[in-house]
Amino acid sequence: MALEWVQKALSEGLGFAPYPATLNLRLESEEDIAAWREVKRAAPSIPITPADPSFCQARCFLVQVEGKLKGAVLLPEVEGYPADKIEVVAPVRLKDELGVRDGEKITLEFMD
């Protein structure tokens, strides 16, 4: 996230300058993992393509975080990426803005 090309690509693709770190979430149930699998398959996404092919591509899915903050889920397109991991970017540091600590639940609403 701290790489300049990543910040630029995310800003252009998402319409906001992301805070230079992700909030990493872990899905707790098989139902959640199945729902995330369906989102990845069917939901509209924004491609993030590096100019340098040695870096991985990614897709982003626009979300509302806790029903009030604009954000996006960043999905690196790398083999073996954990099925239960979700990385969220936003224009602010989400932990501070939401007042959440490790282990607390967060709700994401995927946008069309």
* CATH code, domain carrying 58: 2.40.30.30
Q: What angle do CA 32, 37, 40 make, to 5 degrees?
A: 125
pLDDT digits (tens, 9 = 90+) for 13-34: 898 999 988 999 999 999 999 9
Look at 65 and 48; give whichever has higher pLDDT: 65
pLDDT band at 7 (very low <50, low <70, confident <90, very high): confident
Closest alpha carbon to 72 in 84, 83, 58 = 58
Number of domains in the chain: 1
Contact 63, 34 (CB under 8 A): no
pLDDT of 55 higher than 90: no
pLDDT band at 83 (very low <50, low <70, confident <90, very high): very high
pLDDT of residue 1: 56
* Distance of alpha carbon 40 from alpha carbon 49, whole angstroms: 17
Mean pLDDT of the chain: 92
pLDDT of residue 54: 82
pLDDT of 2 higher than 70: no
pLDDT band at 4 (very low <50, low <70, confident <90, very high): confident
Domain with 94 in it: 4-110
Find the largest Cα–Cα distance for the chain.
38
Tokens 């906001």, residue located: 16
